Amino acid sequence: MLLHLCTWAEVEAYLKRSTGIIIPIGSTEQHGPNGLIGTDAICAEVFARAVGDAADALVAPTISVGMAQHHLGFPGSMTLRPSTLIAVIGDMVTSLSRHGFDRFFFINGHGGNVATVTAAFSEIYAENSLAPAGHNRPSIRCTLRNWYEAPAAKRLSRELFGGEEGSHATPSEVSVTFHAYPDAVKQAEMSPRVAPNGSFTDAADYRSRFPDGRIGSNPALASAAHGKTIMDAVVPDLVESYRAFLAA
Amino acid sequence: MLLHLCTWAEVEAYLKRSTGIIIPIGSTEQHGPNGLIGTDAICAEVFARAVGDAADALVAPTISVGMAQHHLGFPGSMTLRPSTLIAVIGDMVTSLSRHGFDRFFFINGHGGNVATVTAAFSEIYAENSLAPAGHNRPSIRCTLRNWYEAPAAKRLSRELFGGEEGSHATPSEVSVTFHAYPDAVKQAEMSPRVAPNGSFTDAADYRSRFPDGRIGSNPALASAAHGKTIMDAVVPDLVESYRAFLAA
Amino acid sequence: MLLHLCTWAEVEAYLKRSTGIIIPIGSTEQHGPNGLIGTDAICAEVFARAVGDAADALVAPTISVGMAQHHLGFPGSMTLRPSTLIAVIGDMVTSLSRHGFDRFFFINGHGGNVATVTAAFSEIYAENSLAPAGHNRPSIRCTLRNWYEAPAAKRLSRELFGGEEGSHATPSEVSVTFHAYPDAVKQAEMSPRVAPNGSFTDAADYRSRFPDGRIGSNPALASAAHGKTIMDAVVPDLVESYRAFLAA
Amino acid sequence: MLLHLCTWAEVEAYLKRSTGIIIPIGSTEQHGPNGLIGTDAICAEVFARAVGDAADALVAPTISVGMAQHHLGFPGSMTLRPSTLIAVIGDMVTSLSRHGFDRFFFINGHGGNVATVTAAFSEIYAENSLAPAGHNRPSIRCTLRNWYEAPAAKRLSRELFGGEEGSHATPSEVSVTFHAYPDAVKQAEMSPRVAPNGSFTDAADYRSRFPDGRIGSNPALASAAHGKTIMDAVVPDLVESYRAFLAA
Amino acid sequence: MLLHLCTWAEVEAYLKRSTGIIIPIGSTEQHGPNGLIGTDAICAEVFARAVGDAADALVAPTISVGMAQHHLGFPGSMTLRPSTLIAVIGDMVTSLSRHGFDRFFFINGHGGNVATVTAAFSEIYAENSLAPAGHNRPSIRCTLRNWYEAPAAKRLSRELFGGEEGSHATPSEVSVTFHAYPDAVKQAEMSPRVAPNGSFTDAADYRSRFPDGRIGSNPALASAAHGKTIMDAVVPDLVESYRAFLAA
Amino acid sequence: MLLHLCTWAEVEAYLKRSTGIIIPIGSTEQHGPNGLIGTDAICAEVFARAVGDAADALVAPTISVGMAQHHLGFPGSMTLRPSTLIAVIGDMVTSLSRHGFDRFFFINGHGGNVATVTAAFSEIYAENSLAPAGHNRPSIRCTLRNWYEAPAAKRLSRELFGGEEGSHATPSEVSVTFHAYPDAVKQAEMSPRVAPNGSFTDAADYRSRFPDGRIGSNPALASAAHGKTIMDAVVPDLVESYRAFLAA
């Protein structure tokens, strides 16, 4: 159930049976030689929609541009500064809380978002914690779940890609996007086959260490079929997480 | 050509033939009894994609949540504060300018965005204007085009809906979304048939003046067929605008 | 009735008969070869004072520096960034609302302010719209009126200056300042007689397109006498607007 | 020489003989039973203009609303938050520095501005101090002078008003405004004759300690004649300060 | 080598042999019935100083107040909002980078800081990543190390406290502070012996779930002797990390 | 009584007998040839602790990095921007006010902090002053006391150091740090014996005017013994100030 395809009256009705909402958050950043720039946003979105369908949960629009400053050395990458993303999440959550939503389940597709989104939650909670006694601010609860850390995602990564999963432009995430957008499947030679590992700081540093954009991965292993396998296995994990979150 | 479905190498190649990019911006807000909450974002997105196809232009991800504080009295509506949206647009444009993009063509679906997006452009330009002499900041150019103000859109609005177009939850925009998402077509009785007109301030004021969310419109006139008519006529107008913008 | 020339007790008495206030807003920016740098602030101020006299309305101090980043290529021009101006307007309106003012009528002399001031109003309203249920924030109403768009101003512009009004450093606005400050009347040759038209981005771009600062105008047509004509005709329009605003 | 009454070409010419500028800064706040709400802005402005005339210095538009949060318990008072005023001063100084101004002489009429304006100067300098080596930011110098602390102002305060000068709504400042605006001279009984002294925090605290707005003063002693005496004596002090500042 | 006990000439000399610096960061928040409010700051500080001594590294002053909004339900707890802490870290790192420091090794004592400090690093890097081509900003590298996640810390936690370590007000951290401040050792009965586990949102939520402040721990097991054991074992781990960081 | 060495239950008990707290604030900046970079923070801290002991007052952690942009030309100096420091003080005071603290006594060791900290207090008060009628924000009171302006400090400065006290890197403050940290006493030749006086703007300007960092002082006169004399005399002054502040 997509918020964007509802009328306000349908949302009003939904709120009578649930105060939870799923918010997909991704990124717009290079994903190596054959990965799509929208990989993280696409993954977050397709998982969120599938979970929304399975759990009768409302799904908000995807936050497509995340915190990806380190990818700016590659054409097409975009970032919000952490301070901007904190403001965005604050405004979105506050908007929805006005209607009675109080359980915000973010499905995340990008490791680079984790720290900033977590800080954004604290910024929101801090408004309550610093408010004068007797305030009338609603009590809300936010959580961030990385689809690629769901138990099934980790298991399948090992089974399908072994030591070639890596941590950026992984065959798992590329597979999910190939399944979602079969017309956008790309081919590219990987050289070296498996990309180097390591840490990074800013965009120039990242590009010098990871010249084609990948970290530790071999996304030539990706396929739409693997993507379907991953989707089918991971969605139930996320549904269970969502239900547990509502019940907490 | 969607940025999200490209690899970074494809964007690098694109930049050799064009430094323009289209950025759709909409809103997530109530659109009356039968309009979708995503109406403005959906319209911006479908027009942007069609223009991108017709003009071989890259299309960035849609800014789905805009400045819609006045709609917060209706469940499901979301807003960014103007100051937040200014930061978002600044970060997005700055990110892309790093790669060599210098013509930013925003296709807008929401009147409430106009002032803030225009202010955001000035905030970006001001960085250049206030920079010390001899700075190396790139010169860029941004523009905002409201699809519903294209000549064809205004003409068709008159022809198809006459005095019942109104200014919010209009049959034109609802038609475009029904064409884009035929499975999401909604039916609702309009009472009164044509909504009242007027101005508004904050969310409580808006809701008290426009109890079902519409302003001056009768969106019961909307249909997917009308949406197709509008799309077919408006896209060439926007393509022409985009080409003129690149040439300016 | 100028706020600056009242005591607080007089303001307290005023609030018993009206909760409206007029706030002039202008700019400090080049106005071509013979226009004053204070043109926009002067116009806003003299119209505001005349309206205040005619409508028994309190007039706040003039916001003299507006959003004029594009004029910074010419000596003497000053700007506030949009984000700064948004903060200024927010603080001013909030200050006055604490005393019971709830109708804020901005008389504007500068096109470059429109987007940012409109965004500032939304930023103020958003505080209410995003506030938790049961908040005790006052309901207020702001409006921005450009004196040069009053019906009489547009009519006189056509009658007096025809196709040589242009859009910056216009003979209309220069005339009003010459009427207000007859000792500051300047002479300058205009070359070309009528300045070019066009759009612009940042200060460098503006200066390269409009080398003497004018856009589309021939301010050599300006005179104090024309200024008096314009004042006499436009003030009643603004008075009527103000009264209608109070009644809305 | 008022910036507002110059053309940009005149400012360009001025910059060939001087890079100094005077910026008056006041406040919009209650000044007791007979003092004008604009007292501090009026004083700053009239002193700035007189100094500008005497020293052939350019005078920028007056910052009319300052930091006056503690006066908000009295109708008509307005404040900028310190953070807003810091942004305003930063934008104004940066704008002017782009043209080559590098000596900013603020003439201040309000004690409540001192800390914030001083902090604003540090915020500006910090941009240089924190800039990477080899930056091309201009070196500028700002100073704040309180007219009421000029030697002549302190001497005349003692001679004319002795122990009844106080520290807010003083007979000195009220006299200067009565001299400047003889039509706005007000009469009011002072009870007690001399107001209490003390410190304060927020607006509620201030109002409870100083019920008619004065601190330690008896402004019934004010007169336009005294205002003239003060003006005549203080302007030369400020002119000397300004010249020394330019030479430093 | 403490920055606070050096002269600037000594820092200048240090920079010739190293461009690394250690910055301890803690928090000021309740630590259960017998833990000190300064626990996290004290731990970060004593580890940082010991590492500084062992590795000839300069140690900056401790950031004593961190991100601890969730503890504000207990008297004495203090927090910086995430946005404030991001600004603080940005200013501190930028200040030091001006002198040539380019390796910033934060030793952290508080889990609640991790997300915000990581976001702060990204905010700093983003300045470089978003800067125009050809900028002269220095390349720097920041890292955050939680002393309690050093291998020796995790091993000793298991050996000394088994399942009673928990995650807040742990016997490990309390022991370190008792070792550092033997005069401040406190006794308190723990009821229940081991505190409950769980997640939390804002301060009210935290206090309702964890009524005495602990999470999952039994800090009655803490002792100064255990603290010494932990210090002796963990410092070499951190020294090794620091050296590897400098070499990276 | 140091906040950092208390449990939350001890703070809860303290609040039953007092709602006052002492917050030391210093700076991290060069202090000339023999002064410590931590001089201002050390002085603030040792005075605060002594006053806390003498007056049974709780002492918060020291704000070690202050507003010192002008010292950034010397290695090891650090600054917060004024806007950052304003945010820090706001968050700290708001945190503590949530627990019932309402008297905030800042003991300051650095002249460069005065304006910004004073502005920070106004920023805090402004939240109350601008709040809607009927708000439930607590009424609080903040004050800043510079230890070096205590009567005994000024008297001893004259007696011990006469005309060689100066205004930065003074023998008084250096003496206090030498008393506090006898192992950190430094020797350095002063050339010239007494440093020049003058004003300054940014870091480059400061360094060019005061090449070894001192202003007007001869800190070769400093000694731990003088430091003890100063401590012994100044603490009672500050205790008296603190008691008067609580009673006000």
Give residue limits of the domains in chain C.
Answer: 3-247
What pLDDT digit, counting tens, does each position of A204-239 carry?
A: 999 999 999 999 999 999 999 999 999 999 999 999
**Amino acid symbol at E96:** L
Predicted TM-score (pTM) of the model is: 0.98
Q: Which parts of chain E have pLDDT scores under 70?
A: none
Task: Note whether D98 contacts B134, CB cutoff 8 Å.
Answer: no
Residues 6+ apart with CB under 8 A from C50: C231, C235, C238
Average pLDDT over all residues of chain B: 98
User: Could you list the pLDDT tens digit for every one of the 248 residues in chain D?
Assistant: 999 999 999 999 999 999 999 999 999 999 999 999 999 999 999 999 999 999 999 999 999 999 999 999 999 999 999 999 999 999 999 999 999 999 999 999 999 999 999 999 999 999 999 999 889 899 999 999 999 999 999 999 999 999 999 999 999 999 999 999 999 999 999 999 999 999 999 999 999 999 999 999 999 999 999 999 999 999 999 999 999 999 98
Closest CA of chain B from A104, distance in Å: 13
Strands A20-25 and F103-108: unpaired
Q: What is the mean pLDDT of residues C200-229?
A: 98
Alpha carbons D118 and D130: distance in angstroms, whole number = 18
Out of B73, B122, B128, the one facing C67 most closely (by C-beta) is B122
Q: How far F212 CA sits from the closest chain D CA (Å)?
A: 17
Amino acid type, E152: A
In the complex, which subunits touch C with 3 or more CB pairs below 8 angstroms? A, B, D, F
Cβ <8 Å between C81 and B205: no
CB spacing of E7 vs F88 below 8 angstroms = no
Q: Which residues pair with A93 in a beta bridge?
A: none
Buried b (16+ CB within 10 A) or exposed e, A213-244: bbbbbbbbbbbbebbebbbeebbebbbebbee
Q: Output the six-digit token pair for E127.
A: 């300045």
**Residue entry with tokens 């508004």:** B200
Chain A residues close to E116, C-beta within 8 Å: 115, 119, 122
pLDDT for the residue numbered B248: 86
Q: State percent of chain F over pLDDT 90.
A: 98
Q: What is the pLDDT of residues F174-202, one digit of tens each?
A: 999 999 999 999 999 999 999 999 999 99
Contacts of B43 (CB under 8 A, 6+ apart): B26, B109, B147, B148, B173, B176, B177, B180
Percent of chain D with pLDDT over 90: 98
Inter-chain contact C119–B119, Cβ cutoff 8 Å?
A: yes
Q: Which residues of C touch F (CB under 8 A)?
A: 91, 94-95, 98, 135-138
- Per-residue pLDDT, averaged over F132-145, amounts to 94
Measure in Å the smallest separation between the Cα of E210 and chain A Cα atoms. 15
| Total residue count of chain F as it appears in this document | 248
Mean pLDDT for chain E?
Answer: 98
Residues contacting residue B101 through CB under 8 Å, at least 6 positions apart: B15, B19, B20, B21, B140
C-alpha distances (whole Å) from F26 to each of C243, F64, F111, F143, F145 are: 56, 5, 9, 15, 12
Mean pLDDT, chain F, rounded, equals 98
Other CB atoms within 10 Å distance of the CB of residue C189: 9
Average pLDDT over residues A46-62: 98
Q: Are D160 and D226 in contact (CB under 8 A)?
A: yes
The answer to whether domain D3-247 has CATH 3.10.20.740 is no
What average pLDDT does the segment C103-116 reach? Answer: 98
Residue A193 pLDDT > 90, yes or no? yes
Question: Which residues have CB under 8 Å from E38's CB, separation 6+?
Answer: E26, E28, E64, E177, F2, F3, F4, F5, F61
Interface contacts C/F by beta carbons within 8 Å = 15
- Selecting from B140, B141, B204 the residue whose C-beta is nearest the C-beta of C139 gives B204
Q: What ipTM was predicted for this assembly?
A: 0.98
Asked if pLDDT for residue B215 goes beyond 90, the answer is yes
Both ends of chain C: CA-CA distance in Å? 22
Contacts of F132 in chain C (CB under 8 A): 98, 135-138
CA distances from F29 to A147, C102, E56, F84 (A): 47, 49, 21, 17
pLDDT at B134: 86
- What secondary structure letter does DSSP report for B150? S
Sheet with A58-59, strands from edge to edge, namely A58-59, A20-25, A103-108, A141-146
- Confidence (pLDDT) at C248: 86
Least CB-CB distance to F91: which of E34, E38, E80? E80
Which helix (H) or strand (E) is E118 found in, with range? helix E114-129
Kindly report the nearest CA distance between residue E42 and chain B, in angstroms. 37
Integer Cα distance of F118 and F120 in angstroms: 5
Q: Average pLDDT for residues B212-238, to the nearest whole number?
A: 98
CB count in 10 Å sphere of residue B248: 10
* D124 contacts D104 by C-beta, under 8 angstroms: no
Mean pLDDT estimate for chain C: 98
- State yes or no: chains A and D have 3 or more CB pairs below 8 A: no
Which chain A residue shows the shortest CA-CA distance from B15?
Answer: A75
Percentage of chain C exceeding pLDDT 90: 98
For residue D166, the model assigns a pLDDT of 98
Instruction: Give chain C positions within 8 Å (CB) of A138.
Output: 132-133
Mean pLDDT in residue range C78-82 = 98
Vertex E200: Cα angle to F87 and B69 (nearest 5): 55
Q: What is the pLDDT averaged over residues C212-228?
A: 98
The reply to whether residue D138 touches residue B130, judged by beta carbons under 8 angstroms, is: no
Cα–Cα nearest to E26, from E85, E107, E80, E142: E107
Tens-digit pLDDT profile for residues A65-124: 999 999 999 999 999 999 999 999 999 999 999 999 999 999 999 999 999 999 999 999
